[in-house]
């Protein structure tokens, strides 16, 4: 519990910061959500309306910005292509370094010790964690189960409604044929990637509690990212006006 508490506090703080930015963006003077879509990049040859990056640097290649658009299903090749873009985006290398630094500060795993050699192990393990998750959640399972890995913005409505919608997309997604279904790639993919990590973590980090902690952190990370994806066009438009 002592190791989990800092993670919970950090996650809670991040959510509060996101919601604070959302509330600011929704103040009088900001444009209606549907108007913000005019700032989004128009559908490309991949027939998606995406902004490329959230907050200018967080990968946003699998978001459909325009709530009124109905892009065709992605092929398996496209799903793997987007997964590779996300995995090797410069932001990923930075966030992996941050996770490795936290592990270094907490001396986790303890058997790896300290020093640059230990940091390189933690960096490699953190990158593998992200890559495992991306492969399972964005490409392999969506292709196998014919589910759509994209996030479709609601784009209109109140803050609470849209926040609830963003959180619910962790559990609900669409199929390639356009029907709603349980988001098996997200939930099972996070669990599978956590299990795969046992191959490169030392014995002390292969416990059930460690696996559940990694599983929960992956889902929590994606939940916060969904909230960013939902409201970033609103926030970006308000910042641009300022």
pLDDT at 227 over 60: yes
CA–CA distances in Å: residue 22 to residues 66, 74, 130: 18, 30, 27
CA pair distance 4, 79, nearest whole angstrom: 33
Does residue 9 sit in helix, strand or coil?
A: helix
Listed by start position, the domains of the chain span: 4-241
pLDDT at 5 over 70: no
CA pair distance 108, 102, nearest whole angstrom: 8
List the single range of 65-74, 176-185, 187-196, 197-206 with lowest mean pLDDT: 65-74
Check residue 217 and give its pLDDT.
86
Check residue 139 and give its pLDDT.
92
pLDDT at 44 over 70: no
Does residue 66 sit in helix, strand or coil?
A: coil
Q: What is the pLDDT of residues 80-96, one digit of tens each?
A: 998 998 888 888 888 88
Identify the band that residue 242 occupies on the pLDDT scale cut at 50, 70 and 90: low
């Amino acid at each position: 519990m002592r190791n989990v508490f800092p993670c919970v506090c950090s996650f809670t703080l991040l959510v509060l910061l996101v919601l604070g930015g959302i509330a600011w963006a929704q103040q009088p003077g900001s444009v209606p959500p549907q108007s913000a879509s005019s700032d989004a990049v128009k559908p490309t040859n991949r027939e998606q309306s995406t902004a490329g990056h959230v907050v200018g640097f967080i990968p946003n290649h699998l978001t459909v910005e325009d709530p009124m658009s109905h892009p065709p299903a992605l092929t398996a090749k496209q799903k793997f292509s987007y997964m590779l873009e996300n995995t090797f985006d410069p932001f990923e290398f930075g966030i992996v370094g941050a996770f490795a630094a936290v592990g270094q500060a907490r001396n986790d795993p303890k058997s790896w010790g300290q020093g640059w050699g230990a940091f390189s192990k933690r960096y490699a393990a953190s990158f593998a964690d992200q890559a495992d998750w991306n492969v399972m959640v964005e490409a392999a399972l969506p292709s196998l189960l014919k589910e759509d890995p994209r996030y479709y913005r609601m784009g209109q409505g109140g803050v609470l409604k849209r926040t609830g919608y963003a959180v619910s997309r962790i559990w609900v997604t669409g199929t390639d044929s356009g029907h709603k279904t349980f988001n098996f790639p997200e939930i099972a993919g996070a669990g599978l990637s956590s299990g795969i990590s046992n191959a490169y973590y030392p014995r002390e980090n292969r416990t059930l509690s460690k696996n559940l902690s990694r599983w929960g952190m992956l889902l929590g990370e994606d939940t916060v990212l969904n909230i960013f994806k939902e409201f970033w066009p609103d926030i970006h438009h308000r910042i641009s006006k300022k």
